[in-house]
Amino acid sequence: MDNSTNAHGLVQWHGTTIIGVKKGGKTVIAGDGQVSMGNTVMKPNARKVRRIGAGEQVIAGFAGATADAFTLFERLEKKLEQYRGQLLRAAVELAKDWRTDKYLRNLEALMIVADAEVMLVLTGNGDVLEPEGGVAAIGSGGNYALSAARALDPYEDDAEVIARRAMAVAAEVCVFTNDRVTVETI
């Protein structure tokens, strides 16, 4: 898969857009549904955003290789169980494993995860980043969605409206992003 870096210096994989917006006591993660292989759309309606953990109190979205992302979802769920739903602790422990484990180190994905308290970006470099200003985006259309969300933020109070509008902008500009959006809210 071709990759580049985003405004945060994180590696971006071409093939998706995920955005997280935390505002007004609500956190939203939204993602498009397009799965691409090269210049071919393989699937237009994939679910890259989902609820995880006991009681589904965590929402997560991924950009990158699908099988790798599912492995990370499973590992994060186990960490959430181990640390009794403490997302920050579970995320830090997953990031440690991801960076040091011989198998996990090769996984190509990025994740945005959130619960009612915190939103984080997780990377294979061992990074656990809390986004500045309550907005984070990953994937090939991530920079477009991030820019749109930051522009909308002062004028819109609803996190879901910001996320949906930012995803619409990304879908219009990024050929690897479509308008079939999945949204989860905490």
d(CA 186, CA 33): 20
pLDDT band at 100 (very low <50, low <70, confident <90, very high): confident
pLDDT band at 41 (very low <50, low <70, confident <90, very high): confident
> How would you label 9-18 residue by residue, b for 16+ Cβ within 10 Å and e otherwise?
ebbbbbbbbb
In a domain, 36, yes or no: yes
CATH code of the domain containing 53: 3.60.20.10
In a domain, 185, yes or no: no
Rounded to the nearest 5°, which phi and psi values hold at 100? -105, -30
Please give the pLDDT value at position 170.
97
CB-based contact 14:2 (threshold 8 Å): yes
d(CA 65, CA 34): 12
DSSP calls for 49-69: EEEESGGG-EEEEEEE-HHHH
Number of domains observed in the structure of the chain: 1
Pairing state between β 40-43 and 35-37: antiparallel
pLDDT band at 8 (very low <50, low <70, confident <90, very high): very low
Nearest CA-CA partner of 48 in 15, 84, 10, 83:
15
Whose tokens are 């995860």? That residue is 113
Q: Tell me what the mean pLDDT of segment 13-19 comes to.
A: 76
Supply the residues annotated as catalytic.
16
Please give the pLDDT value at position 12.
42
In a domain, 124, yes or no: yes
The percentage of the chain sitting over the pLDDT mark of 90, rounded to a whole number, equals: 63
Amino acid at position 157, single letter:
D
In a domain, 106, yes or no: yes
Residue-wise pLDDT for 57-90, tens only, equals: 999 999 887 778 888 889 899 999 999 999 999 9
Q: Tell me what the mean pLDDT of segment 125-147 comes to.
A: 93
Query: Domain range holding 117?
Result: 3-180
In a domain, 186, yes or no: no
pTM assigned to the model: 0.88
